Structure 1
């Protein structure tokens, strides 16, 4: 049997690459051949646009010119990146090339062209997820719902919506796509509620695939960074703004900070996903606003604290973190930007309880998903 994983391709984001690796490995462990990726640029973004000028251009302009437009936009995005970001992307791509089989980029006119280029007749399942593949603000395109394939081939594994509401302009499209899925599992309870509201269908709530691999499987791909790490340190990974009280907490408690997403520390900013795992695993504590940094803190049984992301102009995506902390009864680890940091120690007994819950969830959802593929 052969599966194609449909996911976001982000060679700057650790969680994105590691969730892709995790789902790839889960499927391969159960005897399924896997290809990954599906980076697609299609005329659908203009054909169904609310902008009448774009709809007209989609029909009037020859496709080869649209293909040039797609490639030029990709080139323009690449040219705007600074050298540090380019170094990071290079290391991420090397990591992905080593661990997952990735499809080429596709620039297509329609679904028929896409099916032909993928080799659709050889694919038994398309699996969309995990990550925020259904977030309407930067994903959630029709191909993220596998709309180009036969309905019986459309599955989702812990697909995340990431927000509490779907914009009105996308509601009808989401309704149609959700109704046509064969099997739906989502990553958050809030997402399951949205699926029910939009389509009338029940969605299973699954853990992120990164939580479905054993700790030793993650340690097998860890890499020690070339830089020397302090003997005693707090690792931080903030995708939004770093709260001021983090530095104060480190100073007051005699920790050094190892900041993994701060361009001021170029050797840390450019570490690859395997090195990212090593830094978390060997830290004394993790402080973050990242969902996947929370995941690996839990897997490695680390002391951790989490802040809601503070980033101007970006929709709140806190439901992902709320959901996982609620499942494992770890909501005490949430910090407020308005007060000093309050450390809540997670003792061995508590982490034993957390991992018992994790093992129960993991076993149940993998059995359910594999059964859905039959």
Structure 2
């Protein structure tokens, strides 16, 4: 066992080319070190991707125009893949550089090898991203509930998210086993507590996302301001809705501001919804630059949880769309609903019609949000302090 106290964190870190995902992975080890004097690093765990079920095609007859469309579409995607390959590689490099700045294990691990790092840490933490999702491979859930760590070694959670609240019996059974072996449990969304309470009698705390453990001033020291001239709307949409994009374009034209976007943000995937959307196409920003772009934007329009959070941190006007429609399978809106409700920012959740009808950039009073954040941050740090104490 390592001589000095050291924490191994399991979250969505490996190959996570997502602004919010990497920023939360950056925040937790930094807070553990600077606030509690505990060296901490991300365990570079390689999760198995979900097995995609192939839907059986209906035996509907397709006419010639359908086949022609498919040919043109596939050729178009192939063409744009080649065209954007260099730009996407440039973005990957910026993300990789930031990923390497985050303390992490020397080598990556998979499900079969992760137990080999047990002698490197005397404390394990899982969280805080969407690691408790029923759509993940079941053995990944075992890792994300620290079931590879033997009894007698402290293991706690910090702000994991379920995101999808409809769960299967298999998922619940794996979660029940994992939860009951943990020394301290916290989650990010209050909506998930009622589900987890059916699986364990242990106390469950609700804490803030790791990025909210750092202050606004601390994040300003992380950000990097890029040379973006003039005013702009920052539009960061992870979903592929064309209706949302058309609404953003209509509103931007009304207030005479260009739209800054991050086309094809999912690495190596050229999305047709992004091809001709926006005025300033950003391929050079990593997480540091992302923070600077949010802080200097006139308005943020997004369907991203972390973009909402950083808009609140920097007190920037923002509008948020639902990533998934209510009732849609795999709905992942719960964390956004919880955040907006808790910080009294519900009015920022809009439909595309409401955005189009908006006459100007909304003015938001963040007084309550920042006062509440200060209180919740203190409570969350107290949870961590108590959870980290020796039994």
Secondary structure, counterpart of 1:106 in structure 2: coil
Output one character per residue of 1:141-179: Cα deviation in whole Å (capped at 9) or x when no partner: 211111011344221100001111212332211111112
| Structure 2 Cα separation of the partners of residues 121 and 344 of structure 1 | 54
Q: CA deviation at 1:200?
A: 3.6
Kept after mapping to 2: 8 A contact 1:239/1:261? no
Kept after mapping to 2: 8 A contact 1:308/1:318? yes
| Structure 2 Cα separation of the partners of residues 277 and 39 of structure 1 | 26
Task: Select which of 250, 253, 261 maps to 2:252.
Answer: 250
Call closer, same or farther: CA 1:282–1:360 in 2, change over 3 Å: same
1:195 alignment partner in structure 2:
196
2:206 alignment partner in structure 1:
205
Alignment of 1:115 onto 2:106: no
Kept after mapping to 2: 8 A contact 1:156/1:186? yes
Q: CA deviation at 1:270?
A: 4.0
Kept after mapping to 2: 8 A contact 1:235/1:287? yes
Task: Select which of 12, 16, 32 maps to 2:38.
Answer: 32
Call closer, same or farther: CA 1:329–1:299 in 2, change over 3 Å: same
2:270 alignment partner in structure 1:
none
| Structure 1 Cα separation of the partners of residues 247 and 281 of structure 2 | 24
1:331 alignment partner in structure 2:
346
Task: Select which of 342, 345, 361 maps to 2:376.
Answer: 361
Pairing of 1:272-291 with structure 2 (within 5 A): 272-291=286-305
Output one character per residue of 1:95-150: Cα deviation in whole Å (capped at 9) or x when no partner: 121243344212454xxx5333x1x2341211111110111213652111110113
Task: Select which of 329, 345, 350 maps to 2:362.
Answer: 345
Query: Structure 1, unaligned stretches of length 5 or more?
Result: 47-80
| Structure 2 Cα separation of the partners of residues 171 and 329 of structure 1 | 32
| Structure 2 Cα separation of the partners of residues 355 and 106 of structure 1 | 39
1:58 alignment partner in structure 2:
none
Kept after mapping to 1: 8 A contact 2:237/2:303? yes
| Structure 2 Cα separation of the partners of residues 87 and 12 of structure 1 | 12
Secondary structure, counterpart of 2:217 in structure 1: helix
2:332 alignment partner in structure 1:
317
Secondary structure, counterpart of 1:241 in structure 2: coil
Secondary structure, counterpart of 1:308 in structure 2: coil
| Structure 1 Cα separation of the partners of residues 220 and 200 of structure 2 | 40
| Structure 2 Cα separation of the partners of residues 283 and 167 of structure 1 | 42
Query: Structure 2, unaligned stretches of length 5 or more?
Result: 52-83, 265-273
Task: Select which of 83, 94, 98 maps to 1:95.
Answer: 98
RMSD, matched Cα: 2.6
Q: CA deviation at 1:221?
A: 1.7
1:60 alignment partner in structure 2:
none
Secondary structure, counterpart of 1:162 in structure 2: coil
1:75 alignment partner in structure 2:
none
Alignment of 1:21 onto 2:26: yes
Secondary structure, counterpart of 2:233 in structure 1: strand
Q: CA deviation at 1:267?
A: 5.5
Secondary structure, counterpart of 1:269 in structure 2: coil
Kept after mapping to 1: 8 A contact 2:260/2:281? no
Alignment of 1:104 onto 2:107: yes
